[in-house]
Structure 1
Amino acid sequence: MVPCVGALVHDRAGRLLLVRRRNDPGRGLWSVPGGRVEPGETVAAAVEREVLEETGLRVRAGAEVGRVRIDSGPVVYEVTDLACSLVDDDASPVAGDDAADVLFADARTLAGLPCTPGLVATLGGWGVLPG
């Protein structure tokens, strides 16, 4: 079991921050920014670090929204998803680290993207899909 985090970041327009994954699992698919929790790191610190590394944006970690398990063959990832707020509402995301691309997606854009399995259903169940 590998502890991981995911960031649920909305901009002022209600759009959701997404990254296109550069690596497996889910290479080429869109998902929320996130990754592994490093030893000794809190989930809040991990999510803030991952968003910065993948998008160049600084966020402040908030409450836990939910958890998912991703079975990737020999490894199972346990992902804690946190609501995050942007530190600078005017900053623009730039793909970095494990992200091949990054964007803020509204509902229409999200509907046209190839996303990681279960992403849209899970986020819909949690009530955090973009407006």
Structure 2
Amino acid sequence: MNKVKDLQEEKVICSGVDALPSSIQLPCISIHKATWERKSVQERRAEILLSLGTLAQDVRSARTLSQPGCGLTLLKRLEHSINNYLYVVRLLHVEGEQEGPAVERCLGQPSKDLGLVLKYFGLLLTGKLELLIAEMAKWC
């Protein structure tokens, strides 16, 4: 399901697609192990949902400002991939879940560099999301 490597390869093929028409807020990918472990699974899930939702919204905005061509196709595929992860994470059943917990908004830096956006998206998936899934797998 992780299509980031495919998107990165496609970006290399698309010449001149590095600069986006608008900034995209990069997701927070750093994990302070002790802080992460103190959070409930619900809080971790909410944090990932917030990051993915913000990323999807910003990619959608950049896509609407893009010219037709390779870059637009790449942004469409990226948005589709992000939305797939949003859907899956929303469907994850978290034991004892009630109303969604309040999450501190972690603001990453804004960037117009598509390569950096793809890198941070990949790191969000292989970092926080994989840790969440590993924690939830213990329940099975």
TM over 0.5: no
Q: Which has the higher helix share?
A: 2
Shorter-chain TM-score: what band? under 0.3
Structure with the bigger RCO (C-alpha within 8 Å, sep 6+) is 2
TM-score after normalising by structure 2: 0.25
